[in-house]
Chain A
Amino acid sequence: SQQGEEDPQALSIQEGENATMNCSYKTSINNLQWYRQNSGRGLVHLILIRSNEREKHSGRLRVTLDTSKKSSSLLITASRAADTASYFCATDTQGGSEKLVFGKGTKLTVNP
């Protein structure tokens, strides 16, 4: 069953603007991770936030986690054309298997 669900499905912005993507999930988690995928390529791990953390930063990335709402957001500040990619959230279920469950992804297009 689908665990992570990202929204929006697609997002188009201008260079320099901020991009916010959201992810919702259904069951309790140990941690939540965000990945990026360029077209036709593998996934690149961006950031991991643990279930006891509320916010985390890495460069231009800011991730928040609200376990009460079972949701997370990924903010990319001062976007660049090179940020154009699909972004996926992935969760590993608390008490469950070691598998990651991926959402459907948000396709971000940053126009120069």
Chain B
Amino acid sequence: GAVVSQHPSWVICKSGTSVKIECRSLDFQATTMFWYRQFPKQSLMLMATSNEGSKATYEQGVEKDKFLINHASLTLSTLTVTSAHPEDSSFYICSARDFRRGVYIQYFGAGTRLSVL
């Protein structure tokens, strides 16, 4: 399958600081990437859809000013958690969508564990 790289895999930061997470599709171009949040022992919750060259589409209840998404190229999307607080601590996962054999398949990064002190 296709490779999606997510960095960093783990980050600890102080409350009030901002954290940037990168998501790269390594062997394919992705016009669309997705950002998810996952709480312990729960499923993935879609936060936003990132479209190359245009504004991200946020899911209901997700603060766009809090979670800034930039999809500057066909292989890179970034999620910036601004003014992070302890309640933002979570596991964040990105995925990049590829069109193969007539269907769209999402390939996922390894995730980023964010701990806000």
Q: Give the residues from 24 to 54 in chain A that come closer than 8 angstroms, CB to CB, to chain B.
A: 30-31, 33, 35, 40-45, 48, 50
A102-B44 contact, Cβ under 8 Å, with A42-B6, A45-B106, A50-B103: yes
Q: Nearest Cβ distance between residue A65 and chain B, in whole angstroms? A: 14
Does B49 count as interface, using CB distance less than 8 angstroms?
yes
Interface class of chain B by DSSP = strand
For chain A, give the interface size range.
Answer: 20 to 34
Q: Give the residues from 46 to 105 in chain A that come closer than 8 angstroms, CB to CB, to chain B.
A: 48, 50, 88, 90, 92, 97-105
Add 10 more A-B contacts to A48-B105, A98-B32 (CB < 8 A). A33-B106, A41-B111, A42-B110, A43-B108, A45-B105, A90-B106, A92-B104, A97-B49, A99-B49, A102-B44
B residues near A (Cβ < 8 Å) are 1, 4, 6, 32, 34, 41-44, 46, 49, 91, 93, 95, 97, 103-111, 113
